[in-house]
Chain A
Amino acid sequence: MKLWIIFKKEMSSYYNSLIAYIIIAIFLLIAGYFFYTDLLFFVLWAGIDINIGFWEYYFHDIRYFLILLIPILTMRLFAEEKKLGTIELLTTYPLRDIDILLGKFLACFSILFLMLFIVFFYSFFIKAFHVLNWGPVLSGFFGLLLLGCAFMSCGIFLSSITENQIVAAAMTYCTLLAFWFITWNENIGGETLVKALKKISLFDRFYNFSRGLIDIKNILFFLLFIFFFLFLTYISLESRRWKGLKQ
């Protein structure tokens, strides 16, 4: 599979340029710190039912760091190739655009997975001292993975339409924040509009995962969101083919 060759290339780029190490280190540092303070908060102030409140609280914290860090992972994926001109070589190799796209997506995904996987082990600390209900923990991490992939697909698309990495990252931040703020202003749009907006808000969709509720509709929404942006990226890659086709 040619996809794995691209995957390998992207991974070596991530690790050679130290981006992967830096992002993972920052994420683990912050995630560890918040794990500690959130736990402290719950033990000292919020009573002792760690199984419900704590994880929900903690997952909500983690998604902020994902929003902060994932655009940095995705911004280079296509923008850099365009800037360097290597996209010309890449697209004249015997590769399909879909291989290139999925190879890059998977490379980014593997870093996200690694980060969440390490943080997942924090739950064993709690298990050592307290009764642990695995359901909400697994549901929350699964939700985070979907949320992270949604951020990634959006970031990859925006990286494919510019050759400037900073522009790609800035646009990704704006878009992701928009998907967060979108339901905040209930008074302006009226209830129906807010209801409709809630349906497309990434964070509202994530809410149930963090409480241990896995709803098939929410999973489908995330998958559709990811597919939508990857499809747009594919179109943007293909666009060089149909530019200048008509007189």
Chain B
Amino acid sequence: MIKVEGLYKYFGHIAAIEDISFQVKKGEIAGFLGPNGSGKTTTMRILTGFFPPTLGKAEVAGYDILKYPLEAKKRIGYFPERSPLYPDKRVKSYIEFVAEVYGLKGKERNKQVDYAINACGLTNVASRLIGNLSKGYRQRVCMAQTIVHNPEVLILDEPTIGLDPEQVVEIRKLIKTLGEDKTVFLSTHILGEVSIICSRIIIISNGHILAEDTTENLTDRLEETSRTSVQIEGPVKDIEDTLKALDEIIDIKRGKEISPKICSFIIESKKEIDIHQTLTSKVTEKNWVIHELRPISLSVEDIFLKIVEEKDRG
């Protein structure tokens, strides 16, 4: 697990992060979300022992990274932002080197190396020079060096950036499997990614943590009303007026016209009320037809913007 308390880091007079505290538990995939330059990489570099914080405490896998750096580092798999690698090394021999650095020897080393190469889909390029690989493959090699020693904690700094869509899906799948029995801390500025793989969100902006919670809790907290998208067949004007008159419905917006007779609406209603029933009974009463009915939950984009807005308001 990862435990961070009151972390500060100054570069000269510029504060990269200020008073950062959070926790990530075992079996959790936490998304570290924030715009470029918000302090994500700085936090991760402190956690991996690349440099110490100006102030504060960071504990990884039960070891204080400042007091017991070697013990902590043994248990961390780190994927740095630029996925740096040695171009003059061959994939397999590089992974072997990393395994040895982590103290793996003999059969165990070979087993782990094979596992990492397989898990990252590198079997076909195992004997090739890293320098000759494409960006996507290099990213996977970097991923393989992250997991080769079977670390308890994975710290991944933008692991999917620069990959093509198919590879993104693969890497996400891998992270999800790894997250089942490890602690995963993953930074990204792609909002959608978080909702796909993370069970927990930590939002950072300008070096400050704005929110930290599970994805559901955050959505719940920020959603004051529930929204529903609905497609109804019938006279458009009439539908709009009738629905607007209903008590349960706060607001209704006309969306796209699917065909001359079918139109889509977005309905905002009170949170506690089951709007589906009200809608269906009203529509049946008027002899219209419902073509589609689905709730719209807040996207991570909405959450992020709402939180930043909230903070700005004070």
Contact = CB atoms under 8 A, between A and B. Distances in A.
B10 A93 contact: no
Contact of B54 (A9, A13, A94, A244): A244
Nearest to A13: B88
Interface residues of A, number: 26
B54 A247 contact: yes
Contact of B102 (A12, A91, A94): A94
Interface stretch (A82-90, A118-126, A135-143, A146-154): A82-90
Given A86-B84, A89-B84, A241-B52, A2 B101 contact: yes
Given A5-B97, A84-B86, A89 B10 contact: no
A223 interface: no
Contact of B70 (A85, A96, A241, A247): A96
Contacts of B82: 85
A13 B89 contact: yes
Interface in B77-107: 78, 80, 82, 84-89, 93, 97-98, 100-103
B24 interface: no
Interface stretch (B43-51, B112-120, B162-170, B281-289): B43-51
Contacts, number: 75
A91 B50 contact: yes
Say whether chain A's binding surface is mostly helix, strand, loop, or mixed. Answer: helix
B40 interface: no
Contact of A12 (B12, B49, B74, B93): B93
Contacts of B103: 94
Given A88-B80, A89-B80, A5 B100 contact: yes
A243 B80 CA distance: 20
Interface residues of B, number: 36
B203 to A, nearest CB: 24
A217 interface: no
Interface string A1-30: 010010011001100110000000000000
Contact of B73 (A86, A93, A246): A93
Contact of A17 (B52, B74, B76, B88): B88
B73 A94 contact: yes
Nearest to A96: B70
A235 interface: no
A187 interface: no
A31 B38 CA distance: 57
A94 to B, nearest CB: 4
Contacts of B50: 88, 91-92, 240
Given A92-B80, A93-B102, 16 more contacts: A9-B97, A13-B89, A84-B84, A85-B80, A85-B84, A89-B78, A91-B50, A92-B49, A92-B50, A92-B76, A93-B73, A94-B102, A243-B11, A244-B12, A245-B52, A246-B10
Closest 6 A-B residue pairs measured CB to CB?
Answer: A85-B84, A94-B73, A92-B48, A86-B84, A94-B74, A93-B101
